[in-house]
Homo-oligomer: A and B are copies of this chain.
Amino acid sequence: MATCEELAKQKTDDDDDSDVIVPREDVHAFCMRCLQKVGAVTEHAEAMAELIVAADYRGFYSHGLNRLDFYMEDLRSGQVISKPEVNPAIVKETVATALVDGNNLMGPVVGTFAMDLAIRKAKQAGIGWVSVKGSNHFGIAGWYSMRAMEQELITALGTNPISVAAPADDGDSFVLDMATTVVALGKVEIKHTLQQPLPSGWSLDKDGRPTTDIEKAMTSVALYPLGGAEETSGYKGYGLAMMVEVFCSILSGATATPFGRMWGRDTEPGGANLGHCFVALDPQVFAPGFTDRLSELLNHCRNLPPAEGESEVLVPGDPERQHVKKCDALGGIPYEQNQIQWAHNLAEKNGLAPLVRLSG
Interface residues of A, Cβ cutoff 8 Å to B:
91-97, 99, 125-127, 129, 131, 133, 154, 156, 162, 164, 166, 174, 176, 178, 182-183, 199, 201-202, 207-209, 226-228, 231-233, 235-240, 242-243, 245-246, 249-253, 256, 258-259, 281, 283, 285-290, 293-294, 296-297, 300-301, 307-308, 314-316
Contact = CB atoms under 8 A, between A and B. Distances in A.
A240 B164 CA distance: 9
Copies, count: 2
Contacts of A315: 242
Contacts of A288: 253
17 contacts: A92-B286, A97-B286, A99-B286, A154-B251, A164-B243, A176-B242, A176-B243, A178-B236, A178-B239, A182-B233, A199-B231, A226-B236, A227-B237, A228-B228, A242-B297, A250-B290, A258-B300
Contacts of A307: 208
A287 B131 contact: yes
B226 A259 contact: no
B94 A126 contact: yes
B226 A237 contact: yes
Contacts of A131: 286-287
A300 B259 contact: yes
Contacts of A308: 207-209
Contact of A96 (B96, B228, B286, B294): B96
Nearest to A275: B287
B201 A231 contact: yes
B96 A246 contact: no
A251 B290 contact: yes
Contacts of A174: 242-243, 246
Nearest to A91: B287
A101 to B, nearest CB: 10
Contact of A246 (B126, B183, B209, B294): B294
Nearest to A208: B307
A278 to B, nearest CB: 13
A342 B237 CA distance: 34
A284 to B, nearest CB: 10
Given A127-B129, A166-B250, A97 B285 contact: yes
B297 A252 contact: no
A246 B154 contact: yes
Contact of A233 (B226, B236, B238): B226
A244 to B, nearest CB: 10
B126 A126 contact: no
Contacts of A209: 308
